[in-house]
Structure 1
Amino acid sequence: MFITGRLTEHATTQGDKVITSFAGRQLTYQQFYEQAKRLAAYYQSKGLKKGDPIAFLLPNSDYFLVAYYAAHLGGFAALPINHKLAAPEIQYILEHSEAKHLIYDTRFDDTLKQLSDTLQQVETVLKVGSEHSLEEVLNDSSFIYESVDLTSKDVNVIFYTSGTTGRPKGVMLSAGATEATAQIWGEAMGLNHEDRVQIVTPLFHCAASHVFSIPVIYAGGTIVIEEAFSPEAAMDTLENEDITIFFGVPAMYSILLNNPRMKELNLPKLRLFTYGAAPMPYELVKKVKELYPNVSVQNLYGQTENSPAATTLKDHFALDKIGSVGEMLPKTEVQVVDEFGESLPTGQVGEIVVKGPQLMNGYLKNEEATNQAIQNGWLYTGDLGRFDEDGLLYIVDRKKDMIIRGGENVYPVEVEEVLYQIPEVLEAAVVGVPHPVYGEVPKAYVVLKNDQHLTEEDVKTYCSKNIAKYKIPEEIDFLEELPRNASGKVLKNVLREHQTA
C-alpha cells in the first residue's frame, strides 16, 4: 500500500477530517489528497520519470507536506533542502543531485540569485507567493493524474546529510523504508486517528517528517505545523490546538520549562512529550514529569540512514535510565559490535549497528560510502554505545565527532574546510563545547600564518558567507600550534580539555 495508498484510503474514509493546520489554514484529507494529485499530475505533464528528484527549498508549512506526498504519488523523489544552508552548500546539493525541478519560497530569492549558473540546469520552478506559483498549480484541476506502480525499493525521498568528508551525502530512502518507518513509529508511540501532533522542528529534517508527520498521517491523525520554534507560539499552540503529542530537542524543553507561563498551561489532551537529537539531562526530565505527571515522556533515536528509526526510551524508564536511548524499535535489530563486526557482550563499548526494513538504499552516487555504511545488511551508524543488563542502549560517544547544536547537526570537518579557505589561516580544528541552551556549540582553534592577523569577528564574518549560521563557531581561540600525536593527528581531546581548564 505504501504511504500514498494509506493517504488515498483516508481521503475516502475520512475525507472531511483535518489533516494539516498551519497559520489558520486547514486542509481536510480530501483537499490535501486532491492538491497532492494535481501537483503530481503537473510534474507528469512535464515529462518527469520515476525517481526524478524534485527539490524543495521551503520553510515549514502545509505546502511542504503536500509537495512531499505529490512526489510520492507521481513516483518521483522528494528532495528537501535545508533552507538554513549558505548558497554554496545549496549549490552543491542541486548540482550533485542533478535536480531539474525546484519548489521554493520567494523569501529565498536572494540566496538563489547567487546560484544563477546552477539554476540553468533547472527546467521547472514553482514559487510560493509569486507568479507561476505553487498555489496556482494546487488549484488547477485541468492536470490529469495517472497512478504509478511503485516497488518497495523505488527511491521516493532523498535527504542530504553532512558527512565526515565535509561533503553532504544524499541518503536515498525507498517507498518500502518510508512505509516501514511510519508503521514502526506508529506502534512505538501508539499513534491513532485522534492524535494532533505539534511540529515546531524543521520538516526538511527527517525527524519532523518521518518520525512524526508521515506516521501520524499514516495513522489518520492531524499535523499542526508551526513555521519555526518560538516559545510563546509553541505554548499558544499547545494550549489552543488540543495537542496530544509534542516533539522538541532538549534545548527547546529547557527554554519552555524556564518560562513561568509553562506552569499555567491547561493541556488536558496532551499525552506524550517526545525528544531526540541529544540526551535530556536528568533535572530537565524530572521537571517535565513534575509539571505534567499525567503526560508520558519518550526519547527517540535514529539516523537519516535508517529513516530515522533505531531505538526508543519509553516513559517507564524516563527517570531510571537517564542517558539511555532505550530499547529496539519494532521490526528493528540493534547490536553493538567490535572492529570485526562481532557482537559484544553487555556493558562493552563498540559501534552501534542497525538492521531493518527502514534502512536506506544507499548514498546517491557514492558507492564507496554506501559499502562502508552498510555491511552484510547492517547499517554502521558511526555511534559508539553499549547495552546495559536490561537490554537498553546507551550512546557513549560519537565516532564521527558530530556536534549537535540545539538539534542541528554540525560536522567539524565542514567548518574546518571553510576556515582553511581564509588566506591568513595556517591550520584549524573545531570541537564541540558545552552550552547552557543549545547543549553544545562549535568552537574553533585557529593557528595563523607568520605575521598575519585576524580577529574573532573577521573569522565569523568569513564563515557567515560560506556556511549556515548554526555552524559558525561560537568562540574562536588563536593558538601558536595545534596539539598533535606522533602521527600528526590533531588531538581534539586535548582541545576539549583546554576548554574546561
Structure 2
Amino acid sequence: MSEQTDSAPAWVLAHAKAMPDAPAVDSPWTRLSYRQLAERMLSLAGHLRAAGVKRGERVLIALPLGCAAVVAGLAVQALGACAVELDRETSAASLEAILAQTGARHAFLFGQDARRWTARTQLTHLWVVHSARPPERMLGLLAPSACTWVQEDGSVDLEARAEALESPPPTPPEAHASIVYTSGSTGTPRGVIQTFGNIAANTRSIVEYLGLTSLDRAMLILPLHYCYGKSVLQTHLRVGGSVFLDPRFMYPSVVLEAMATEACTGFAGVPLTFELLRRQATPESLAKLNLRYLTQAGGGMAPETARWTREAFHPAELFVMYGQTEATARLSYLPPARAQRKAGSIGIAIPGVELRVVGEEGTPLPVGETGHLVARGANVTPGYLGAPEDTRSILRDGWLWTGDLAWRDADGFFFLVGRAKEILKIGGHRVSPAELEHTLARHPAVLEVAVVGVPDELGGEAAVAVVVLQPDTPLREESLRRFCRESLPAHKVPRHVMFTEALPRGPNGKVLKAELRTHVMSPVASFESRPSR
C-alpha cells in the first residue's frame, strides 16, 4: 500500500474487495459488512462532492457513537477533505470559536440536536442523521441552510440524487485528515491537526504491538471525537477486523452481555471505565467473555483497580498505554509481561516513536533524573490550527514537548511524575499531585482521589486532596493525613482533605481539575475534619 493510499477509506475499499461479507462496523441497531461500509462511504462522498465539498475543506461531525458517524468520517476523508469531529455537548461559545477557526460550511448533526444548531449562518449545508425522515418542524429550525437526511446506517435519503464517488483520489501524507479539539489553557478550544500520514503511522504502530489481525473484534464504548476511541476504530479497519459500537455504558451489565454475545476479542477503556466495572460487574458476566486483550489510557489507573482488572479479565492481557491528541493517539505502552516488575510505568515507546527525558534546554538527562518528556515520530502533529504561538510552544527542534514530567529507568521504561503545569510549589519544594494521589489511593477506604493546589497565605501553594470513599466506610480527614505521614515527608502531606460523592469529569472520563480547583477555592467549601458520611 503506497503512502498516498495509506488511509482509512483505502483500507475499507481493499477489504471490501477481498472479503466483502466480513463484518466491519456494527452497533445494537445496525450492521455493516465491508461491502456495505464501502458502498455507503462512496455514496455519501458523492453527495458531499455534489454539495460543493472540496479537497482540503473542513467538515464538522457532531454525532453520537454509531455507524452514521463512522460513515460520515470516512466519506469526508475519501474526498481528501478534513473531518472535524466534535462532542455533541460542545458549548455554544466553543462551537462559535470552532466555526470561526475552521471556516466550515458543512456539518453533520444528530436530528435531536437541531435546536442547538439554529442560527448557525456560517453553515450552508447540514447533513441531518435521523432514524426516519426528519419532520418539517425540525428542518424549519435549521433554515436557511440546505439539509440532507442521512439514515442511521450512513445511507443517504433516497430522494437525494448524486453520483457515488468511484474511488478516493490520491492523498499525500501531509494533507490534513482530521482536526481534534482540546481545551487550551485559556479555555479557548485548540484544534490539533492530524494528517493522513500521522494517522497511518500511529495506526501501524498500535497494530504491531497489540498484534491485531482480521480475527479481532473490538467493543468500542469511547466516543469518536476522542482520539483514543478513533484509534480503536482505525486499527481494526486497517487489519480487516471489526468493531461493535455501543454507547450504552451507563448500563455496564448490558455492555458486558453484548461483549459476550458479539464475541469481542478486545476492549478499550479509561480508568473510570474499569472502576465502574469493578463496582458493578458480576463474576457470571465476566465468565462469559472471551477477550484476548484490554487497553487502558486516558490517565493513570489506581493500582488496586489495575490489579482487579488483570485478575477479573484473565487470561486477557491488559495493555496500559500513554499518549495525547498531539501524538494522534499513542506514544508508549507497557508490555503486559512487564506489568508487575514495572508497576506504575507508562512503559516503552511504541514502534516508530522515540521518547526522551530532557532538561529545560532540551538536553537529555541521565537515568533516574526527572525532566520533561519529549517525543519524536511520524505520528506527531504538525501543530494547532491557526495557532502558531501555541504550536511553537510544543514543537521544538523536531520534538513534541508533551507537558509531562517523567524519569527513565535503566531498562528504558518511563515513569510519569505529573504535568509540568500542575506541579505544586509547596514550601520551596516541587511536589507532584500524582505522587500524593497514588499514596492516598492505597488506603483501603479510598475509592478515588484527586489532588489540586490552592494559594497558601504564607506564599506558594497548599495541597488539597478531594476524596471519594468506598461505600459505607466513614473516615475522618485526620485519619487520611496520618496515613500519608507514614510514607511521605511532611511537606508532601495534603494540608486539607475534602470528601465528595463524585469527582467532576469530562466526557472522556478525565477528572476536570480546573473545575475541582475552583470548587475547592470557593468561599462555601469547608475543610473541617468531619466524617464524610
Q: Please tell me the TM-score bracket, short chain as reference.
A: 0.7 to 0.9
Q: Distance in 1 between matches of 2:38 and 2:228?
A: 23
Match of 1:23 in 2: 28
Question: Which of residues 94, 104, 108 in structure 1 aligns to 2:109?
Answer: 104
Residue 160 of structure 1 aligns to a residue whose secondary structure is: strand
Question: Which of residues 149, 152, 156 in structure 2 aligns to 1:137?
Answer: 156
The structural deviation recorded for 1:478 is 5.5
The structural deviation recorded for 1:47 is 2.2
Alpha-carbon deviations, 1:328-351, whole Å to 9, x = none?
100110111110001111111111
Letter matched to residue 156 of structure 2: V
The structural deviation recorded for 1:33 is 0.7
Match of 1:166 in 2: 187
For the 8 Å contact 1:36–1:138, the answer to whether it is kept is no
Question: Which of residues 33, 40, 43 in structure 2 aligns to 1:38?
Answer: 43
Match of 2:91 in 1: 86
The structural deviation recorded for 1:228 is 4.3
Larger radius of gyration: 2
The structural deviation recorded for 1:476 is 2.7
1:306 aligns with 2:352: no
Structure 2 unaligned segments of length 5 or more: list them: 135-147, 424-432, 435-449, 453-461, 471-503
Match of 1:121 in 2: 122
1:215 aligns with 2:235: yes
> In angstroms, what is the RMSD of aligned CA positions?
3.2
Match of 2:337 in 1: 316
**Structure-1-length-normalised TM-score:** 0.80
- Judged with a 3 Å threshold, the aligned counterparts in structure 2 of structure 1 residues 166 and 13 are, in CA distance, closer, same or farther, namely same
**More divergent stretch after superposition (69-78 vs 264-273):** 264-273
For the 8 Å contact 2:345–2:415, the answer to whether it is kept is yes
Percent identity, aligned pairs only, is 26
Q: Distance in 2 between matches of 1:38 and 1:11?
A: 14
For the 8 Å contact 1:200–1:225, the answer to whether it is kept is yes
For the 8 Å contact 1:298–1:312, the answer to whether it is kept is yes
Q: Distance in 2 between matches of 1:436 and 1:70?
A: 46
Letter matched to residue 476 of structure 1: H
Match of 2:257 in 1: 236
The structural deviation recorded for 1:97 is 1.4
- Judged with a 3 Å threshold, the aligned counterparts in structure 2 of structure 1 residues 9 and 56 are, in CA distance, closer, same or farther, namely same
The structural deviation recorded for 1:477 is 4.4
Q: Distance in 2 between matches of 1:278 and 1:394?
A: 13
Q: Distance in 2 between matches of 1:481 and 1:109?
A: 38
Match of 1:362 in 2: 383
The structural deviation recorded for 1:29 is 0.3
**Structure-2-length-normalised TM-score:** 0.75
- Judged with a 3 Å threshold, the aligned counterparts in structure 2 of structure 1 residues 33 and 260 are, in CA distance, closer, same or farther, namely closer
For the 8 Å contact 1:298–1:314, the answer to whether it is kept is yes
Residue 204 of structure 2 aligns to a residue whose secondary structure is: helix
Question: Which of residues 498, 519, 527 in structure 2 aligns to 1:476?
Answer: 519
Alpha-carbon deviations, 1:169-216, whole Å to 9, x = none?
111111111111111110011111011101111111000002x11011
Q: Distance in 2 between matches of 1:186 and 1:56?
A: 26
Comparing both chains, which one has the higher relative contact order based on Cα–Cα distances under 8 Å and sequence gaps of 6 or more? 1
Q: Distance in 1 between matches of 2:164 and 2:71?
A: 17
Number of residue pairs matched by the alignment: 433
**More divergent stretch after superposition (41-50 vs 100-109):** 41-50
1:349 aligns with 2:370: yes
Match of 1:68 in 2: 73
Residue 379 of structure 1 aligns to a residue whose secondary structure is: strand
The structural deviation recorded for 1:109 is 2.2
**More divergent stretch after superposition (83-92 vs 19-28):** 83-92
For the 8 Å contact 1:203–1:209, the answer to whether it is kept is yes
Match of 2:198 in 1: 177
Match of 2:6 in 1: 2
**More divergent stretch after superposition (230-239 vs 247-256):** 230-239
Residue 476 of structure 1 aligns to a residue whose secondary structure is: helix
Match of 1:381 in 2: 402
Q: Aligned runs of 1:217-296 on 2, under 5 Å?
A: 217-230=237-250, 231-267=252-288, 269-296=290-317
